Amino acid sequence: MLHLPQKPFPRTIILLLDFMVVLFAVVMSFLLRFNFDIPSYEFTWLYIDLLIIGFVRLVFFLVFGTHKGIIRYISTSDALRLMVNLLTGSLLFVLGNVVSYFAFDHQNIIPYSIIIIELLSSSFLLLGYRVLLKVVFMETRASGGQKRHVIIFGAGESGLITKRSLDRDAGPKLKVLAFVDDDRKKTGKKLEDVPIQPADKLDDLLQNNEVDQVIISIQNLSAKRKNEITDICLKHEVKVLVVPPVSTWINGQLSFRQIREINIEELLEREVIVINNDKVGRDLAGKRILVSGAAGSIGSEIVRQLMQFNPEQIICVDQAETAVFILQNELEQGIFKNYTFIIADICNESAMQRLFDQYKPEIVFHAAAYKHVPVMELNAAEAVRNNVGGTKVLADLAVLSGVQKFVMVSTDKAVNPTNIMGASKRIAEIYVDIKNAEGKTRFITTRFGNVLGSNGSVIHLFREQIQKGGPLTVTHPDVTRYFMTIPEACQLVLEAGTMGEGGEIFIFDMGKSVKIADLAEKMVQLSGLAPGKDIQIQYTGLRPGEKLFEELLATEENTKPTYHNRILIADVGENNPENLKKIEELLQITNNEDDMALVAVMKEIVPEFISKNSKYQQLDK
């Protein structure tokens, strides 16, 4: 077999080859014109045409730089540039004939038949030898070692582009064994000589062949289908890769290096939520909007989504300086510029008063909160001071300032709370519900569960533990959690804020809860490792205040539907106005550092607050 050098051919050699091909094409043109018997009197014209055509082609090769490309990576654009080069030269020959025809007694310098035959011959030979060298090069590289076998899921345009990117790549030695597609009409056909198999044969293909990777090439494939494919692959210890969205391709062309391993977030996603953007837009356009906790996971996404509705101004409030700096740098790259960053503590009443006086917000999205259950269990006073006290400061100022809407982001941990964090958020819910009756401000609460990719999420923890070689720490074999994506959660917050009339607690359809132990195992497998063999999963026991199962509704609660099938309204009954006095008492106790007295009052305000695995269990009757 012919072996090509690893380094590209020198440009001068390519230029010389191209020149020789053109000369050969001219000779072939004369031979074909005269049926391989050139008359002696035509040899003079053969030499003249060789000189003229050779010189013009050489000049155009230098001008167009067609010899500078690396042949092993020849693409459609390279072929197109070569064809334009040849056509331009041939048009020049035609123009020369027109001039000579009128100047030299109806004499053509180059016969038109020679021009046409030479153009076709040169095009075929120049492109042909380039493609041949590319194929030989790829085969030579592939024969140097054992090929890795790949199956591409998706026999459409994206699948074909994926195969071509693999063929083009100079690195990994891959061979596409088959395309697999859900469309049975494609079964039995071939794409570039690779057979197309039905999707239900994927299990058999992996069982009967040594497959290293399955690449999912279908754009916008549902998470459910991705899960099904991934489970089959993981059963056979085959790595799963995905092709990124077309919008991320470089200059519209897919690079092999962009094909990446599938991540767990993609497998936990659900169908894309459709919200009423027109209605949300009418509610938010031209408004001054304050976002508390604006640099956090939820707050920052709310800010990003608000920008598309062209508000008059977004006031971003957060006390985390580094997070604010990062978000500010991100927003500076965008088109929307009507935002202001304020570093401040929402518990600082005088600072918040100045902020409301200066910016006069019309809508408030309150996302600031302490959220980590184990940390707040050890810092009860701070949890109450921030989650309850901070909410009280903003809510009171909203009423005094005549804010139109106040949308509070709450949590599923506020339902039948078993920990300080959840109970503090439930008390904040109670406070804003009572305030809803005081003025024209409409107070709306939204509840949802764990958010994929949020700061401190279990997925981030597992990923770090896998990188360190384990073990992965799971609190209990049966613990489950609900998950949403950050954009999904924030879209629903905006939609609920738009539909809310005041006093509602909106809950979101979170789908099915996920078993954390299963999540840990799948993340290990997706990393190409074996749970229990390469990486251990270690059960550490439930942490103080932690539940086995999260709930979205308390047992006494029921729900009412809304026009959006993913949003429901929780009917939690009337709140006792006397709770206002108890909340004032609660906030006073935060200054006394008496956590037992503090939690005792919390349990009075929230009778369903029953502590678990915590020192505060002694307060439960």
Question: Which pLDDT band, with edges at 50, 70 and 90, does 356 fall under?
Answer: very high
| Residue with tokens 């400061």, as numbered in its chain | 393
Question: Which pLDDT band, with edges at 50, 70 and 90, does 3 fall under?
Answer: very low
Residue 119 has pLDDT above 60, yes or no: yes
Residue predicted with more confidence, 161 or 316: 316
Residue 172 has pLDDT above 60, yes or no: no
Whole-angstrom distance, CA of residue 408 vs CA of residue 487: 17
pLDDT of residue 5: 43
pLDDT of residue 71: 61
Cβ pair 169, 197 in contact under 8 A = no
Average the pLDDT over each of 241-255, 459-473, 552-566 and give the range with the smallest value. 552-566
Whole-angstrom distance, CA of residue 601 vs CA of residue 582: 7
What is the average pLDDT score of the chain?
Answer: 84
List Cβ neighbours of 20 (8 Å cut-off, separation of 6 or more). none
| Residue with tokens 């991934």, as numbered in its chain | 230
Average the pLDDT over each of 104-108, 317-321, 326-330 and give the range with the smallest value. 104-108
**What's the rounded mean pLDDT across residues 526-549?**
82
pLDDT of residue 2: 38
pLDDT of residue 170: 45
**What's the rounded mean pLDDT across residues 32-37?**
84
Residue 142 has pLDDT above 50, yes or no: yes
Residue 357 has pLDDT above 60, yes or no: yes
pLDDT of residue 448: 80
| Helix count and strand count (H, E) for the chain | 21, 22
Please indicate, yes or no, whether the overall pTM of this predicted structure exceeds 0.85: no
**What's the rounded mean pLDDT across residues 385-413?**
95
Residue 78 has pLDDT above 90, yes or no: no
Residue 331 has pLDDT above 60, yes or no: yes
**Residues linked to residue 341 through DSSP beta bridges, in sequence order:** 316
| Residue with tokens 């489950």, as numbered in its chain | 480
480 by Cβ neighbours in 10 Å (0-12 / 13-18 / 19+) ranks as: middle
Phi-psi region of 65 (alpha: psi -120 to 50; beta: other; left: phi over 0): left
**Residues linked to residue 149 through DSSP beta bridges, in sequence order:** 175
**What's the rounded mean pLDDT across residues 462-483?**
86
| Residue with tokens 């199962």, as numbered in its chain | 549
Residue 7 has pLDDT above 70, yes or no: no
Out of 186, 226, 287, 413, which one is annotated catalytic? Answer: 413
Domains and CATH numbers, the chain: 11-141 (no CATH), 148-262 (3.40.50.720), 277-576 (3.40.50.720)
Residue 344 has pLDDT above 90, yes or no: yes
Q: Would residue 603 show up in a list of annotated catalytic residues for this protein?
A: no
pLDDT of residue 318: 96
